[in-house]
Structure 1
């Protein structure tokens, strides 16, 4: 799987972000159909699990996945089946680094026509722009951004599909390791040094991140769920050995055709709730989430209204759920919880919590 933080100072960056999320190319919301993702990546996951000694047929049966379906080149899976598969895989293996193991197995050829187009590109910059343009064909549950200047390049991923915390971390870790490995493949064996910013906390297997040669990892960095990889240098200065204009043209035409046929689904309100729930520290604003979907805040609110929701109501509900969980955990003081949730002080947090719960945070802690 292929591949955001350059700061406000880099206003002159060229920016390509044509990944699609809840919308097809006509911009029409598709809230009825469930999101389906390419099965080929989960076939790789099944191969990894087999090597770990897992009874894969039994696991696939639990996820309601037929093995013959995985073998078809164009096979796809409903994301609800992916959720079951990933969560069961963690339970059966006890391996918190399962996403890393899967990510390391992926090559550019794993991505079908998009990977073929990347390999045929004139240089690494073009390959990454192509990946961003057609990332929907690689993994519809995530969105890719690519930004570049003459001094720096940045790739990032964020989820466009609601998913459990475990499933989210599995995919983000697979994306980090796959991206790094595939850049090395593009560049003849060596990726340039980079800074990697990860939204999740440092995992128990953090030592494995030393396998990312030349990379420095920063855990718990972002408010919104996702990852960013910032590279020094100009990727247009990295010509590709397999550059082929004719093959690239054919690959791009095929990708355009596939994108026209692709339809993303899922409820936007579920995705917004997931992004708010998974955020570390203060929660993302409506404008920030709208930008992630390439929408205006007003348009995002209109889609939410169609589903009987509003951003304000979702944010209020999720913040209260997070407050209850933190209070019940008993690990942080009320002041620490207030700052964790973005309140200016404990008094404001206490008033807000009392309005929602009908009692103070202290009373809630005593009764939990």
Structure 2
């Protein structure tokens, strides 16, 4: 279950789930423009993972129908261990906490749960990637969180409110499934449920099974966190917070739950420094943004944290020995030939 930032463990039973829906797995792979051997691969890259979900979405008549079909048809006996631990939890609150905790073993999705007043919100975020996940994947993730509550409690739970950042197909179909109003074009992807539902006990509660699963999953999570380099985590946070400014070590250290002195020491132990990583991230992001012809140079400078364009030009010359505009022209020309 261990992974690096760009290694995604495919959900157990995913391909079987597609077959049960009457979809040929080979068609999905071809649509995703991936090698057919991907079906037997337990681990894929983030780009491949997103391509598979997008292909499934493209082959379904309507995104909303595809979301509901997959969320409701997945048999509990095909749940991976992390989801089994949630399904057999004591109550809905315990189940959601386990989902959020063990989701770290299966990136790139991350769940942030907040209880406030009469509501509980579960917001979907992306780990290690700036690229937003396909709407189909977003929809299934949020739908399954409600499905988990329905199956666990044995009750027809209804959500309070659902927000999606992108178009998600037939909204009325989804509103009927979630049992609430849905907002499209929101600034986040979020499921809001009734807080009182969190106390509902699960009829599927299995204390003996949890005693077996929990220590194994916790050990996997601890091993993963120890193996993940601090350098990797700092770079990911930097990429999220570059736009329009320069992230400082105090802010990033706080997000990692440590002092800036401890963070600098950890980075030194890994043979790098905060300043070096910031330069490296800006360089990597500059190349990535310049490869997109829809962004002008001024926008690229802002996106990687330079308030004035001249500072960006000077930095880029040091990195590449050329101006941003010349580099872009050569890059786009070379890719056109290839």
CA gap of 1:208–1:183, structure 2 versus 1, over 3 A, is farther
Alignment partner of 2:94 out of 110, 126, 131: 126
- Give the corresponding residue for 2:307: 344
Distance 1:328 1:92 in 2: 28
* More off after superposition, 51-60 vs 230-239: 51-60
SS in 2 for 1:315: helix
SS in 2 for 1:155: strand
Q: Which TM-score applies when normalising by structure 1?
A: 0.60
CA gap of 1:135–1:308, structure 2 versus 1, over 3 A, is same
- Give the corresponding residue for 1:155: 122
Over the residues paired in the alignment, what is the CA RMSD in angstroms? 4.9
**Counterpart contact for 2:12–2:80, Cα < 8 Å:** no
Distance 1:291 1:233 in 2: 31
Unpaired segments ≥5 residues, structure 1? 1-20, 23-29, 67-76, 222-226
- Give the corresponding residue for 2:141: 175
CA gap of 1:49–1:254, structure 2 versus 1, over 3 A, is same
**Counterpart contact for 1:121–1:242, Cα < 8 Å:** no
**Counterpart contact for 1:276–1:315, Cα < 8 Å:** yes
**Counterpart contact for 2:88–2:210, Cα < 8 Å:** no
Distance 2:273 2:136 in 1: 29
- Residue 289 (structure 2) pairs with residue 314 (structure 1): no
- Give the corresponding residue for 1:71: none
**Counterpart contact for 1:146–1:156, Cα < 8 Å:** yes
Please list, as runs of the form range in 1=range in 2, the aligned pairs for 1:1-368 lying within 5 A after superposition: 37=9, 39-44=11-16, 47=19, 51-52=23-24, 54=26, 62-63=37-38, 65=40, 77-79=42-44, 84=48, 87=51, 95=59, 100=67, 105-106=73-74, 110-111=78-79, 115=83, 118-119=86-87, 123-136=91-104, 139=106, 142-159=109-126, 162=128, 165=131, 172=138, 174-186=140-152, 188-196=155-163, 202=166, 206-207=168-169, 211=174, 213=178, 214=180, 215-218=182-185, 221=187, 229=190, 231=192, 233-235=194-196, 239-240=200-201, 242=203, 247=206, 249-262=207-220, 263-264=223-224, 265=227, 267-270=229-232, 272-273=234-235, 276=238, 281-282=243-244, 285=247, 298-365=261-328
Distance 1:93 1:132 in 2: 25
Distance 1:302 1:41 in 2: 43
The Cα offsets for residues 56-101 of structure 1, whole Å up to 9 and x where unpaired, read as 89978523827xxxxxxxxxx3455x86566467569855969957
Aligned residues: 313
**Counterpart contact for 1:268–1:304, Cα < 8 Å:** yes
Deviation at 1:51, TM superposition (A): 0.6
Deviation at 1:164, TM superposition (A): 9.3
The Cα offsets for residues 326-368 of structure 1, whole Å up to 9 and x where unpaired, read as 3453323333333333333434434443443444444545555
- Give the corresponding residue for 1:5: none
CA gap of 1:326–1:268, structure 2 versus 1, over 3 A, is same
**Counterpart contact for 1:146–1:154, Cα < 8 Å:** yes
Distance 2:262 2:230 in 1: 12
**Counterpart contact for 1:107–1:181, Cα < 8 Å:** no
Distance 2:115 2:107 in 1: 23
The Cα offsets for residues 91-128 of structure 1, whole Å up to 9 and x where unpaired, read as 69855969957556546665456555545556433332
Unpaired segments ≥5 residues, structure 2? 332-338
SS in 2 for 1:344: coil
SS in 1 for 2:26: coil
* More off after superposition, 304-313 vs 112-121: 112-121
- Give the corresponding residue for 2:336: none
SS in 2 for 1:207: coil
Whose RCO is larger (CA < 8 A, sep 6+)?
Answer: 1
